[in-house]
Amino acid sequence: MDLSLLIILIHDISSVVIRLASVALIPGWHKPSVAMAWLLVIFFWPIPGLILYLVFGSFKLPRQRAERHEKVLESLDRSCCAAWEAERPQEKDLPDDLLHLLRFASLAEKLGDMPPTRGNAVEILDSTPEMAKLMASDIDAARNHVNLLYYIFSRDEVTEPVFEALERAAARGVSCRILVDYLGSRSFLRKDAPALIEAGIKVVGALPLSIFRRNPLSARFDLRNHRKIAVVDGRLGYMGSHNMIEPSYGGKARGLLWKDLTMRVEGPEVLQLQRVFMEDWYVETLELLDERAGDIHFSYTGEHILQTVPSGPSYRTENYQRLVVTALHSAYREVIITTPYLIPDESLIEGLEVAALNGASIKLVIPRRSDQFFVGKAARAYYDFLMAKGVRIFLYDDGVIHAKTMSVDGDLCFFGSSNFDIRSFALNFEINCVIYGKRSVAGVIAEQRKFLDASEELFMEEWEKRPFLLKAVEGVAKLMSPLL
């Protein structure tokens, strides 16, 4: 037999075998939407599709990483976080307008293993330079430790004050640790980390890249640590959507500036941020930090009730997605969502529809121009469907909106690192804060309304006029959206 004919025969037989095996196995390993998307890829492109599936198909963490996470959760004695219990809101102490949220707080605690805390002081920051300068000032006042965890960490003209403050802190004996995502901060790890290590600062890359999982701590290539956390002496904390990089991200979106929000917190909530950092640090290094290191003196004078909810593939369920959908089902007045990336799953779409049917005005603020072509096209494919369900879509024009927030009926709010897409719900390690009460939520809603004021509402009549070719591209992207 001619060699070329033999190659064709092997290719054809293997393609059939791959298709049949995929139909038999993949539906049992994934949700229907994800399974259908993978089957579509494999049926049209059997051998390359199989390779892609082997690299990107599994949502599960390697066994060693999962075991480390379980071990550190067992090792962290909740008594070291006695402040959580001391400042847990009691039903008798809560105003009537918050009592209906106790059940929601209980669900959030079951998912994230951390209760709501009261007595927190909060400051919302919307400027990257302002955040960097304020954090540098807090680091300069540090006496015991500084713990930073960021998806993107970069030394540039905006973040330079933080780097200099870290070097000064290390020089006076403060323990400084930086944990960054290996992919998001690969340039920093290569260029800037060696000098910091030389200065006495511990730098670790999370989720090291290993496409075929040769490293027992690596997962599929695109499972990333997307969290943004800073903790100073266990007393002050930062969390939100800001990465540690100047707001144009090196001109990533043709010079447009990223618009983010970060929350600076003082109070018992900081210990919950600290705990999430400790979990991630242990998984990467096997070093169990002492959460009580140094004297922590909280003022407890703040008025805000906050609750940290971490999420990611190390948890048994999609924590943040469950909370978002639950909140939507209870909404009856107004829901405002800001997110840079929108790829809703079936549950999120149903939640938005239920909220609209219950009479809630739903306002969704997303960037007019996405920095990611395929993800942006997939999101656009849902616009007409969402508008038909009663969702009002606002396209943000003043840069790239990157703040990830959701307010519900003016007394409940989500604030953190998670986008409203399948990737953030299921694949990335994220951290979000639940904010309770009208006065506490008011500051975030004020920022949301600023984003609304800088946006233009999209109407169905206008949207339906876009070219057929563009609709076709969006349709293909939508088919692949469960894999994005």
Radius of gyration of the chain (CA): 23
User: Of the listed 409, 411, 421, 478, which one is catalytic?
Assistant: 409
Q: Please indicate whether residue 228 is annotated as part of the active site.
A: yes
Q: What DSSP character marks residue 61?
A: P
Indicate the pairing of strand 334-338 with strand 404-408: antiparallel
Distances (CA, A) of 39 to 25, 44, 56: 10, 9, 14
402 catalytic residue (yes or no): yes
Among 30, 69, 145, 228, the one annotated catalytic: 228
Measured between alpha carbons, how far is 58 from 363 in angstroms, rounded to an integer?
34
Strand-pair partners of 456 = 395
Determine which one of 30, 69, 259, 404 is catalytic.
Answer: 404
Whether the CB-CB separation of 185 and 154 falls below 8 Å is answered with: yes
Number of alpha carbons in the 13 Å side-chain half-sphere of residue 178: 29
Query: Which pair of tokens denotes residue 373?
Result: 């072509």
Q: Which of 181, 233, 280, 421 is catalytic?
A: 233
Distances (CA, A) of 484 to 200, 266, 319, 362, 442: 39, 36, 19, 25, 33
Dist CA 420 CA 254 (whole Å): 24
**Does 233 qualify as catalytic in the annotation?**
yes
Q: Is 404 a catalytic residue?
A: yes
- Map residue 47 onto helix, strand or coil: helix
Q: Which residues contact 372 (CB under 8 A, 6 or more apart)?
A: 341
Reported residue count of the chain is 484
- 329 included as an active-site residue: no
Q: Catalytic one among 69, 402, 411, 478?
A: 402
Catalytic residue among 226, 259, 363, 478: 226
AA letter at 390: G
Annotated active-site residue 409? The verdict is: yes
DSSP single-letter state for residue 419? -
Measured between alpha carbons, how far is 459 from 217 in angstroms, rounded to an integer?
Answer: 47
DSSP labels, 452-484: HHTEEEE-HHHHTTS-HHHHHHHHHHHHTGGG-
Catalytic residues: 226, 228, 233, 402, 404, 409
